[in-house]
Structure 1
Amino acid sequence: MSYTEQLWELVHAVEKHVRLPSVNLPGFVGGEIEPGAFPTDPIAAARALRKAWGLGAEPIPHLVRTIENQGIVAVLVPFAENEVARIDAFSTLSLSRPIIVLSPDRANDIYRHRFTAAHELGHLVMHGELAGGDPALEREADRFAAEFLTPSLVIHDLLPRRIDFRKLNQLSEQWGVSIKSLVYRCREVGLLSDATARRAYIRLNQLSEQGVIATQPVYQFPGEVPSLLRRAVELAEANGVTIASLAQELAWKPAQVRRMLGDADERPTLRLV
């Protein structure tokens, strides 16, 4: 919460100089979503948001960019140096603009990154400021993410009726989700038994260990790297507002502003042996 409050201070300072996209999250008013704006069922909620954003039932090629275009602030920052690398992401509705904070620390993999972003979107839509970490709420957010990324009414007819890694890989690239999540989807919609799915997971782990299935770093996919806040700062700079002046306005050091924007600390690390 301390981090998001600082991030909001930066967003608020930037908005004095640059007009960001309006928040397009149905029912969002004054730091919360009005009751009844979304169904409580995760599947129905994901379908409702897709409809509200005009996404139809097609793959979403640039999920994070789509989220930012709806006025939701997203940032991608490493937290390992702060010893909270166990966190994939977190989000909040409590401020006047929704915020999603993503981190590449635990798994710098594009498919996990996209699913995590959709998972946090589910929390924003369904759970507001309910305490995070509740297993039931996490399962609901997972169901929302799966439906938002791969609508069941479409993906059901595309999934193979038996384990076919070639076909699953094609669907993985088309829909921007991992093969493992598609195997889970097969089981979820009744196309595979639990035993068959377990065997598939074992084989996927073996293929990963052999390097046949390689992770793809998030930073290779510009549409999945947040850019809203950074571009706003760049636009402000074009109009005479500098990182230094923003830092002075916030009573921060310029390095803190850059860190909040996700810039890596390029200073060499001193190691004593």
Structure 2
Amino acid sequence: MLERLDEYWSVVEALGEDRVIMVPPSYRLERKPGALNSWIKAQIQDIADRTRSVLGLEGYVGQLIFQMLEDWHIHVLAWKLDHSFDGFSAYSERRGAFIIINDDRSISEERKIFSAAHELGHLLFHRDQYRGEGVVYAKSRGNLDERIANQFASYFLIPRNRLDECKIVIKRSRNKLRDVIQLKHEFGVSVQALLYALHDEGVLNGPEYGYLRKELEKRYGVQEPHPMPYVEKNRRVMRMLQQLHAEEGVSASKVAAVLGISHDEAARLLAEWEREDDGSEF
């Protein structure tokens, strides 16, 4: 992974875009005894709301998260990776902040969106745990840091003031799972994420939450119900590679290494860029 990041960074340097303009702020939570208690969650929600405000987000984030993170000067890369993880993040003072998403087509876009917000949570709350020159953030799942990042992603993607508008509908619903599946499209999140948020806010009590999760698993297994279409990513790095190709040329091997694609796919991209360059002369 770090070798791939080095390949990407060489493109950034070649185009003279290696200056760190800004990095996301770093926060330290005040912790009281206990796990993810209401005291910690209130702080996380406040920071999620502040982050949305800084980014000028009034409505839902959803698939806009990838462009939004790049606009915030975070390097976002989407690669097809091993299924053992959904993504990771990296940070160094010299290079700034990075979020890498597993873009395997078998993973739902809703899950990728949540992974991006989850890694943003690590960048905001666990900056001191990135060591070395862009070392990845890797902690065992299930610990408090992972739960904090998940809670941040939930608040960030599903703002609770918007969720309030749905409470009466869900509480009165005679087919809650159907209505939650319909509602998840508005937020751009998975059904699992929305069910958790509704339970977290007390819209669903414990038995209801447990029953709906079991029903979801029984009907759909590990698949996302009515998943959103694939979301194009890597727009910034594609633009950079195309610019570098126009200025001084770039090999298919380089394109393949930076984008994490096959040599044949990279060759097709280069041919497409060359056709566009030829057309621009007329």
Q: Shorter-chain TM-score: what band?
A: 0.7 to 0.9
Alignment of 1:212-227 (within 5 A): 213-216=225-228, 220-222=230-232, 225-227=233-235
Indicate conservation of the 8 Å contact 2:62/2:189, yes or no: no
Indicate conservation of the 8 Å contact 2:4/2:257, yes or no: no
Indicate conservation of the 8 Å contact 2:80/2:104, yes or no: yes
Select which of 15, 18, 28 maps to 1:17.
Answer: 15
How big is the shift at 1:9?
Answer: 4.9
The CA distance in 2 between the partners of 1:55 and 1:88, in whole Å, is 25
Q: Is residue 2:154 matched to residue 1:152?
A: no
Identify the residue that residue 84 of structure 2 maps to in structure 1. Answer: 86
Q: Which runs of 5+ in 1 are unaligned?
A: 28-32, 245-253, 268-273
- The Cα offsets for residues 23-74 of structure 1, whole Å up to 9 and x where unpaired, read as 45444xxxxx4879xxx83222211211111113444441111111221111
* More displaced stretch, 14-23 vs 144-153: 14-23
> Residue 221 of structure 1 aligns to which amino acid in structure 2?
V
Identify the residue that residue 250 of structure 1 maps to in structure 2. Answer: none
Identify the residue that residue 121 of structure 2 maps to in structure 1. Answer: 122
Q: Which runs of 5+ in 2 are unaligned?
A: 30-39, 130-136, 266-282
- Normalization by structure 1: what TM-score? 0.76
- The Cα offsets for residues 87-107 of structure 1, whole Å up to 9 and x where unpaired, read as 211101224221111113495
Distance 1:226-1:212 versus aligned 2 partners, 3 A rule: closer
- The Cα offsets for residues 104-154 of structure 1, whole Å up to 9 and x where unpaired, read as 349510110100000001101111142632510000000000011011122
How big is the shift at 1:155?
Answer: 1.1
Distance 1:56-1:15 versus aligned 2 partners, 3 A rule: farther
Identity of aligned residues (%): 23
Indicate conservation of the 8 Å contact 1:61/1:175, yes or no: no
Alignment of 1:140-219 (within 5 A): 140-159=148-167, 160-161=170-171, 164-209=176-221, 213-216=225-228
* More displaced stretch, 203-212 vs 126-135: 203-212
The CA distance in 2 between the partners of 1:100 and 1:5, in whole Å, is 15
The CA distance in 2 between the partners of 1:140 and 1:66, in whole Å, is 21
Identify the residue that residue 258 of structure 2 maps to in structure 1. Answer: 260
How big is the shift at 1:211?
Answer: 7.9
Q: Which runs of 4+ in 1 moved over 3 A?
A: 18-27, 33-36, 57-61, 104-107, 209-212, 214-217, 264-267
Aligned residue for 1:98, secondary structure, equals strand
> Residue 92 of structure 1 aligns to which amino acid in structure 2?
A
Indicate conservation of the 8 Å contact 1:77/1:260, yes or no: no
More helix by share: 2
* More displaced stretch, 17-26 vs 102-111: 17-26
Aligned residue for 2:127, secondary structure, equals coil
Identify the residue that residue 144 of structure 2 maps to in structure 1. Answer: 136
Alignment of 1:4-153 (within 5 A): 4=2, 6-17=4-15, 19=17, 23-27=21-25, 33=26, 41-80=43-82, 85-94=83-92, 95-105=94-104, 108-130=107-129, 132-134=138-140, 135-153=143-161
> Residue 147 of structure 1 aligns to which amino acid in structure 2?
Y
Distance 1:116-1:99 versus aligned 2 partners, 3 A rule: same
The CA distance in 1 between the partners of 2:220 and 2:47, in whole Å, is 33
The CA distance in 2 between the partners of 1:52 and 1:101, in whole Å, is 22
Aligned length: 239
> Residue 48 of structure 2 aligns to which amino acid in structure 1?
A
- Normalization by structure 2: what TM-score? 0.74
How big is the shift at 1:214?
Answer: 4.5
The CA distance in 2 between the partners of 1:230 and 1:182, in whole Å, is 32
The CA distance in 1 between the partners of 2:222 and 2:85, in whole Å, is 27
* More displaced stretch, 187-196 vs 204-213: 204-213
Indicate conservation of the 8 Å contact 2:11/2:244, yes or no: no
Identify the residue that residue 238 of structure 2 maps to in structure 1. Answer: 230
